[in-house]
Structure 1
Amino acid sequence: MARLDNVLFFISFLDLFAASLTVPLLSGHIKALGASHALIGLVSSTYAVLQFFSGPVVGSWSDIKGRRTILLLTLICCSLCYLSLGFAINILTIICIRVVLGTLKHTQSLCRAILSDVVPPETLTEVFGRYNAISGIGFIIGPVIGGHLAEYQHGFFYVCCLSSIIFIINLCIALIFIPKSKQRNKNEGQRMEASLWGSISMAVNHLRYMNWSLYWDAFSLKAMLAFSVSILYANYSLTLQERFDLTPSAIGYSISFQSLLGAVSGFGAGAVSKIYGTELAKLTQHGFILLAISFIIILSCSALWLFILALAPLAISSSILRTALSQWSLEQAPKDQRGSVIGAQHSLSAISRMTAPVIAGVAQSTFGPSGPVLISLLASLAGIVIASRIHRKSKAVEGSNKKSL
């Protein structure tokens, strides 16, 4: 049987490949239906709002019910929703589909939780780096294929159908290769099987008794990272269309280029983490500095080639930051709470994605294509300040401990 980590890498790759076929085209599709920039942002925020509320609950639910069960439910939901999206002809239907997806689409978080269960802690950073790299390859080829298909008549419909088929393939892979998890004890297992809502209630109660103060340093930095990147990509396709007059296929190539850089960076994340050792705060501080530099270049450039060049530090820094912050959180989490922690971390990212589309839409309507990039820059600067404060605090504690010895 295939190694479980390789199976999870492939499932994650297919998940992002399927999503990246459709999501970059969604803003343009909604605009073609008559939506404004602000309404496009509102539709995107609907998804993020549900992700915010459902992330911790789904993660906790997987701690109790079993990760495989919840993953299978997620994949079935995604297949049906993406197929329905291809048939949607009005904005209200699209919003309803996004509500369902926002509630249940947590494939990436669930795969990370399963990995954290089976991978030794000392190799977690390296494995997460490979996970981010391999899954990121889906974003290399997905936007290109989706962009080319979208240029045909009824292209968006074909793209959605292809996404649905890929989620069905993922479902089959998960059914065959991911083993069933063992229930904690007989009584709890009986309660879980008795009622769907009962198990969800148990998941909510499970969250109440966790010591969340352990994770806020990593969570706050994760939120800044997600917000700065989400602002940039909220109306990314429209920005490139308005600023450089690019076609959908050319936009797809630009997204794929950045995904390629992110994938390469993911493979090197483990090596970078070893250089910094236990100084994760210092690593995140330097990562946010590199992120801010990329936003400064994007904000000031007037040529397309310089814009594309600025994607390199953006992709490298965001890839390394995602890996380091995931490790930072999971190092402090007991095994039976890792799904909850990953879900909560995903939920904090969803707060950023929830607000980013609306803010980016308003900023673009008010200040033009450069408006969202300026806000991304400010968020990355906030990340530098937070990481610097945490780094100074950790150094002070370390110095105090040395003096006491």
Structure 2
Amino acid sequence: MRLPFLFVLLTVMIDAMGIGLVLPIMPELIVEVQGGTLAGAAVWGGVLSTAFAAMQFVFGPILGNLSDAYGRRAVLLVSLFVMSLDYVVMALAGSIWLLLVGRIVGGVTAATHATAAAFMADVSKPAEKAANFGLLGAAFGVGFVLGPVIGGLLSEYGTRAPFWAAAALSLVTFAIGLFVMPETVTDKTRRAFNLRRANPINSLRAIAGLPGIRPMLWVYFLYSISIYVYPAIWAYFTTERFGWSPQMIGLSLGVYGIGMAAVQGGLIRPATRYLGERGTIIYGMVIEIISFAILAFLTSGLIALLMIPLTALGAVVTPALQAMMSKATPDSQQGELQGVLTSLHALSMVISPLLMTSVFAQFARPDTGLYLPGAPFLLAMVLMVVGFAAFLKAKPKKV
């Protein structure tokens, strides 16, 4: 299973790269095809980002359910092939509407994280699930870091160069998958596809109806909203509070991404071995709560930089949560579960930036009654505490 593992991890990495690849070139690209000012480009950039996240929210459960019915191999390979074509369309796009269509299709094809996680659940023994979900998180973290870096480097060759490179990488990965990816859904675990059940709301109801899963979904959702405070306001917060340059901000985010990938790819295995999944989640959430409390009132940029490895230690929570929920879900619903988690993750990516930036704007204004640029971290801390309390009461049952 080594080659299929590598193929699935590479697929997840490419999905994550798709999120950040366009960030460095998007302002220039939008002005290029649309004209107008940078401010107008920012508005369209927000529309494109929201469309991408919205498609992940809608199609995470659909692809997860399709993989339960037709297999992980088919869903992953078709998505990669369509993704490569989508990047070609983006590279050739001459209008903002074609770019929008490209990001919509890209959001659909990038929703395969659910299918990749279902594959890991299929091939993992119960004791290995947290570690293998951690590898997926590490692959996502690496892709999230590499995406903006590659996009920025290739932008030297024009605004379309990153799309051509991504198309080639997706196509090569598709070709590799044709030869190495086995099918892990058997007749015993196969479940007929039902479009009505595959929509996000009905999938959520189906998974939430499993014993002990509902509170765990709330924990996952609250944790996701809280943790997205970093990409949502980090650039604004560090500029306002510490006067950091864009290069320094990029470096700090890169260090965080690498730290998160290292934790999910390496630390999760010994953590779950010695603490168990429940203990690992408690440890990770406590780390996050403490980090948020410190960052809210921090005034030293040096200490903030030194704290990044500490904050990354909390990244063990997501794979441990996934493992606990996977063990409480029947084999025939693994894809559906991961699709629901993908939807909740995408929804948090929509909600958190709107919420956190609004709080930052309120408390960082020159005329504010209480100047506290770190206020979003306090909000994240409160949400994390609520999620922590919900987790302590949750008792999912293994199937």
TM range (shorter): 0.7 to 0.9
C-alpha distance in structure 2 between counterparts of 1:284 and 1:100, whole Å: 34
- Counterpart residue type for residue 258 of structure 1: Y
Q: Could you tell me which of 310, 314, 323 is aligned with 1:313?
A: 310
Are 2:158 and 1:162 equivalent residues in the alignment? no
CA gap of 1:16–1:42, structure 2 versus 1, over 3 A, is closer
Are 2:328 and 1:332 equivalent residues in the alignment? yes
CA gap of 1:42–1:263, structure 2 versus 1, over 3 A, is same
* Structure 1 stretches lacking a partner, 5+ long: 193-197, 398-405
1:172-210 deviation digits (Å, cap 9, x = unpaired): 12212112456639xx99xx8xxxxx8746756994983
CA gap of 1:226–1:371, structure 2 versus 1, over 3 A, is farther
Aligned twin of 1:35: 40
Q: Could you tell me which of 222, 225, 242 is aligned with 2:223?
A: 225
Are 2:266 and 1:270 equivalent residues in the alignment? no
Aligned twin of 1:16: 16
C-alpha distance in structure 2 between counterparts of 1:87 and 1:377, whole Å: 44
- Residue 171 (structure 1) shift: 1.2
Query: Which shifted more, 251-260 or 132-141?
Result: 132-141
Are 2:175 and 1:176 equivalent residues in the alignment? no
Over the residues paired in the alignment, what is the CA RMSD in angstroms? Answer: 3.6
Aligned twin of 1:130: 135
Query: Which shifted more, 332-341 or 300-309?
Result: 300-309
Aligned twin of 1:118: 123
- Counterpart residue type for residue 147 of structure 1: G
CA gap of 1:350–1:131, structure 2 versus 1, over 3 A, is closer
CA gap of 1:130–1:177, structure 2 versus 1, over 3 A, is same
The answer to whether the Cα contact below 8 Å between 2:64 and 2:339 also exists between their aligned partners in 1 is yes
C-alpha distance in structure 2 between counterparts of 1:225 and 1:235, whole Å: 16
- Residue 85 (structure 1) shift: 3.3
The answer to whether the Cα contact below 8 Å between 1:292 and 1:380 also exists between their aligned partners in 2 is yes
Q: Could you tell me which of 125, 145, 152 is aligned with 1:147?
A: 152
- Counterpart residue type for residue 352 of structure 1: S
Query: Which shifted more, 69-78 or 95-104?
Result: 95-104
CA gap of 1:181–1:324, structure 2 versus 1, over 3 A, is closer
C-alpha distance in structure 1 between counterparts of 2:301 and 2:316, whole Å: 25
C-alpha distance in structure 2 between counterparts of 1:52 and 1:126, whole Å: 25
Aligned twin of 1:54: 59
- Counterpart residue type for residue 383 of structure 1: M
CA gap of 1:235–1:380, structure 2 versus 1, over 3 A, is closer
- Residue 217 (structure 1) shift: 2.0
C-alpha distance in structure 2 between counterparts of 1:176 and 1:387, whole Å: 44
C-alpha distance in structure 2 between counterparts of 1:79 and 1:305, whole Å: 42
CA gap of 1:220–1:11, structure 2 versus 1, over 3 A, is same
SS of aligned partner of 1:210: helix
CA gap of 1:173–1:276, structure 2 versus 1, over 3 A, is same
Query: Which shifted more, 23-32 or 329-338?
Result: 23-32
C-alpha distance in structure 2 between counterparts of 1:140 and 1:258, whole Å: 9
TM-score under structure 1 length normalisation: 0.79
- Residue 304 (structure 1) shift: 3.9
CA gap of 1:328–1:23, structure 2 versus 1, over 3 A, is farther
* Structure 2 stretches lacking a partner, 5+ long: 32-36, 366-370
- Residue 128 (structure 1) shift: 2.1
SS of aligned partner of 2:40: coil
- Counterpart residue type for residue 300 of structure 1: F
- Residue 271 (structure 1) shift: 1.2
C-alpha distance in structure 1 between counterparts of 2:239 and 2:207, whole Å: 46
C-alpha distance in structure 1 between counterparts of 2:377 and 2:43, whole Å: 18
1:296-350 deviation digits (Å, cap 9, x = unpaired): 4444344543333332233221x20111111111010111100000110111112
Are 2:245 and 1:246 equivalent residues in the alignment? yes
C-alpha distance in structure 2 between counterparts of 1:114 and 1:159, whole Å: 29
